Structure 1
Amino acid sequence: MTALAARPDQNMRSRTPSTGEPPIMSLVPPHLVHRSDESDVLLTHFGQSDADTYQFAVQWPTTHALFSSVLGRANPMLIAETVRQAGTVLAHMVYEAPMDDQFLLWNLRYESLPGLHGTAGTPTPTEAVIRNPEVTLRGRRLATIRIEMDLFAGPLRIGQGEASANCLSAAAYRRLRPGVVDLADVPRTPIPPFRVGKESERDVMLSPSETVPAVAAEPAGPAVSTEPAGPAEPDGPTGPTGPAVPVGTPRTASWQLRADRNHPVIFDSQSDHLPGRGIIEAMRQAAQLASGLEHALVPSMNAEFRRYVELDRPCTVSAEILGGRRDGRIPIEVTMRQDNEVAALAVLYLEDATTARHDLPVGP
């Protein structure tokens, strides 16, 4: 997986496109981002600055049904949804992908930067910029797309993300997915909502596992980069930034996936498998449980999607704490396994929203 490069010299970007004129911006309707609820559309307008640069006007909702704020701080996982929506708009408006094409997400990564604090008086995202998207065509049809996005509040860069996906025609998708039996959902007892930062059981995506190991088996090592910024610190208190890992927290634990196929946000556009936003939310919940934090933010995530997560078979979600960090963030690797295969995995960095230091970068 390609890592996001640090670009400290681009925190202030040039607002003048190569043509010398501002781009003509077009409205972004909900269907272009595969959402039916207008309140779930994070992009309002789209325009092209030059041959290789595309701009989006961004408007995050004050409350989001899935990626809600934490103690008044903006949920950084909205960056992941912003980059997904931007890639979908590019695919349809620039590369003319038909609306019934299906996008198979392979990688998604984001990080928030100083400034995305979500408290009174701090900046909120206003614009996203994508430069030099990488695409391949099959004939005249879009086959793959990879984008890197910078997120701005005025001139200040406050986040970045990247994603890659395959694009399949409706006919190709039907051949790949000829049909899924519509089985009744298997009742699964939810984890108490407050433990995963939720208020309703409907939003809980994990159920207690029959076996929850307290110590990990011999690990194979993370499949995605943790990009350490310095030496790991020992477990326990670390000073003013709070504990790296609460004392007594198991190093590894696992749960069973539970997904409500009638959930209006997770299954907004399709229901024959668990969509990407459902996968990353299940991973976030597992990471929060593993961390032991009551109010957790995820300022950075690096995720890889290998297989469809099917809805008619059990899926195990396991989380392993990789070690403490000096800036107070907790790196946790989350793996989703189904049919004895890894379906998805990610490294998430968690921080305690009650003690997070706003004067430190929160990206890896």
Structure 2
Amino acid sequence: MASTVQDIQQGTLRTAFPELTAAEPLNPPSLPVDRTLVHRARLDDVIPTQITRHDDTHFTVSTRWPSAHRLFAADGRYTASLVLESIRQTTLLVSHAELGVPLRHHFVMWELCHQLDAALLTRATVPTGVTLDVHVIGLRRRGAVPSNIDMNMIIRAGDRPVGSGSIRFNITSPAAYARIRGAMTTSDAPEVAATLPEPVDPPTVRRTRADVVLAPAGGPGRWQLRADPANDLFFDRVNDHIPAMVLVEAAQQAANLLVPSGGFTPSSSEMKFSRYVEFGVPSWIEAHTFTAEDGTTSVSVTGHQDEQLAFVIRFAGSAGN
């Protein structure tokens, strides 16, 4: 077979890898897949290790979960970001490797959800990662290339189902993306680091100062988004807007600030994104908590820019962990 990455870049293959079975792994289980297939520049941030094709709409992706990571692990526990990033990277891998999406096309995420057994968030519980059983439940194409995709996923630890995920997104060509974004598209990183507001106290969000994405906004339950393009954890490639990964992290940090017991561990989430969040324009994060009779805590986080709703993220989980 010709170069996999080159074929995907050119959009000449509907299936980038041969049909795989358990006897035909993509690569050894401990090694990550090609970074370009999951849109990551740093090898340490790549989560999938193998992909198995069962049929045109059913795939299995194996992952490796890191024992230590600035974003994905904290205080002896995995964060919700690791689960959500596993779903996101699985989506990208399946789309490029099996559904025929060229590498230079753009993904526009509208919805993302997850649920995971809370016990799995302890690092010692899943030392080698999980597998994601992927079902493509909605697929529309523009010509040979997908334009809209919906996926559901079952998360497994060994043979045991421990959670689930779902995602809905659009795909646009580079030319179509340029038309949508107009003057906002750029190949240069924005220079906004010098204007970043002072962060909230890093220990209150379980982060180092460099990774804090919230600043005080003069009232309870309200913060200003601070996104530093020089931070290669969040910006490992040039972006013309603030990535969803940063917005998810802002929501998690807001949840940790709002829950008074000193730590909030989300075991499920529901996310809806409605517009791009731009650089250089103040964005405001607001959060509210709700406690059910069974003691489960829910946190609803919204993001606004130019008085327009950009996203709503709802977490449910346990406090004080």
Tell me the TM-score normalized by structure 2.
Answer: 0.85
The structural deviation recorded for 1:43 is 0.4
Q: Matched residue pairs, number?
A: 293
> 2:6: which partner in 1?
none
> 1:238: which partner in 2?
none
CA contact (8 A) 1:101 1:169 kept: yes
Distance of 1:134 and 1:23 partners within structure 2: 29
Higher helix content, 1 or 2: 2
CA contact (8 A) 2:113 2:271 kept: yes
1:120 and 1:26, CA in 2 relative to 1: closer, same or farther beyond 3 A? Answer: closer
Matched residue type, 1:301: S
SS of the residue aligned with 2:196? coil
Matched residue type, 2:283: C
Matched residue type, 2:201: P
| Structure 2: stretches of 5+ with no match in the other structure | 1-18, 28-32
1:320 and 1:353, CA in 2 relative to 1: closer, same or farther beyond 3 A? Answer: closer
> 1:12: which partner in 2?
none
- Which structure would you say has the larger RCO, counting Cα contacts within 8 Å and 6 or more residues apart? 1
Is the aligned partner of 1:26 residue 2:34? no
Moved more, 31-40 or 155-164: 155-164
Distance of 2:264 and 2:231 partners within structure 1: 23
Q: After the TM superposition, which residues 1-364 of structure 1 pair with which residues of structure 2 at under 5 Å, given as runs?
A: 22=22, 24-27=24-27, 28-69=33-74, 71-113=75-117, 115-120=119-124, 125-180=129-184, 182-185=190-193, 186-198=195-207, 200-210=208-218, 212=219, 253-321=221-289, 323-354=290-321
Distance of 1:316 and 1:144 partners within structure 2: 29
The structural deviation recorded for 1:327 is 3.7
Moved more, 112-121 or 268-277: 112-121
Distance of 1:132 and 1:187 partners within structure 2: 40
SS of the residue aligned with 1:35? coil
| Structure 1: stretches of 5+ with no match in the other structure | 1-18, 214-252, 355-364
Distance of 2:91 and 2:243 partners within structure 1: 16
Partner deviation per Cα, 1:224-272 (whole Å, 9 max, x = no partner): xxxxxxxxxxxxxxxxxxxxxxxxxxxxx21100010111121123321
Matched residue type, 1:188: P
1:263 and 1:352, CA in 2 relative to 1: closer, same or farther beyond 3 A? Answer: same
Tell me the TM-score normalized by structure 1.
Answer: 0.75
CA contact (8 A) 2:192 2:229 kept: no
Distance of 1:157 and 1:124 partners within structure 2: 16
Distance of 1:58 and 1:68 partners within structure 2: 15
The structural deviation recorded for 1:57 is 1.3
Distance of 2:23 and 2:95 partners within structure 1: 19
Aligned residues: CA RMSD:
2.1
CA contact (8 A) 1:123 1:153 kept: no
Matched residue type, 2:286: S
1:284 and 1:58, CA in 2 relative to 1: closer, same or farther beyond 3 A? Answer: same
The structural deviation recorded for 1:23 is 6.5
The structural deviation recorded for 1:183 is 4.4
Distance of 1:121 and 1:317 partners within structure 2: 33
Moved over 4 A (4+): 121-124
Moved more, 103-112 or 89-98: 89-98
CA contact (8 A) 2:196 2:227 kept: no
Distance of 1:129 and 1:61 partners within structure 2: 20
Partner deviation per Cα, 1:139-170 (whole Å, 9 max, x = no partner): 11210111111111111112211111110111
Distance of 1:120 and 1:83 partners within structure 2: 21
Distance of 2:203 and 2:113 partners within structure 1: 26
